[in-house]
Amino acid sequence: MLYYVSGTLAILEPGLAVIDCSGVGYGCRVTAYTAAQLKLGKEAKLLITESIREDAYDLYGFISREEQRCYELLTSVNGVGPKAAMAILAAGPQNFTLAVMTGDEKLLTAAQGVGKKIAQRIILELKDKIGGSAVELDFSSPSVSAAPAAGNHTALATAALQELGYSPSEIATALKGADPNATTEEQIRHALRAMVMKG
């Protein structure tokens, strides 16, 4: 199993990056988002997800764990293959995450080969998974009153964003200006919009 490849970027074409690792060239399928961050002749490191079928063995390379996780979530949805997943992630994992959390079908159908029904299925199946850590955390204890404190929503939103791979400093900056009394989902949306605007 390949976890990542690291070496000199020898070839960069639309959808393809070839990394020379000690004389062996690994051809990796990449999104436009990842390709934009690579430079010919420079060192590159891509996280790898393998796709092994009877007639093909493909390597999908990602510039970050966040992008790789989004790809794996997408391909877990029935009807979404590697090609469609890569097309959806062309604009970056943050835009994809924002589309799912806000239920924006148009952002998803903008990708080639993704129709309205597939977009709706992606949102339906992945919305809870992307915010999954917020569901798993339990802040209840005998000392906590029945009415949840507003800070709990912020803590839950922070935990969900950390699950997506954002650093504490990025999250703190993105949540500035968010209504502390807003729901967890509203705060996540606020943070993701802030990150997309910044990016």
What is d(CA 86, CA 51) in angstroms, rounded to the nearest whole number? 13
Domain boundaries, the chain: 4-62, 65-130, 132-198
d(CA 164, CA 132) in angstroms, rounded, equals 10
pLDDT, position 134: 36
Q: Which of 181, 11, 199, 24 is nearest to 97 (CA)?
A: 199
User: What local confidence, expressed as pLDDT, does residue 54 receive?
Assistant: 82
pLDDT number for residue 131: 59
Residues of the chain under the 70 pLDDT cut: 131-152, 163-165, 198-199
The reported pLDDT for the residue numbered 182 is 82
pLDDT at 18: 97
Neighbours of 51 (CB within 10 A): 13
Q: What does the buried/exposed string (b/e) look like for 140-178 if buried means 16 or more CB atoms within 10 Å of the residue's CB?
A: eeeeeeeeeeeeebbbbbbbbbebbbbeeebbeebbeeb
Residue 69 Cα to chain centre, angstroms? 6
65-130 has CATH 3.30.479.10 classification: no
Please tell me the predicted confidence (pLDDT) of residue 144: 34
Q: Tell me, what's the pLDDT at 165?
A: 67
| CATH architecture of the domain with range 4-62 | Beta Barrel (2.40)
Please report the pLDDT score of residue 141 as a whole number.
34
Residue 198 confidence (pLDDT): 66
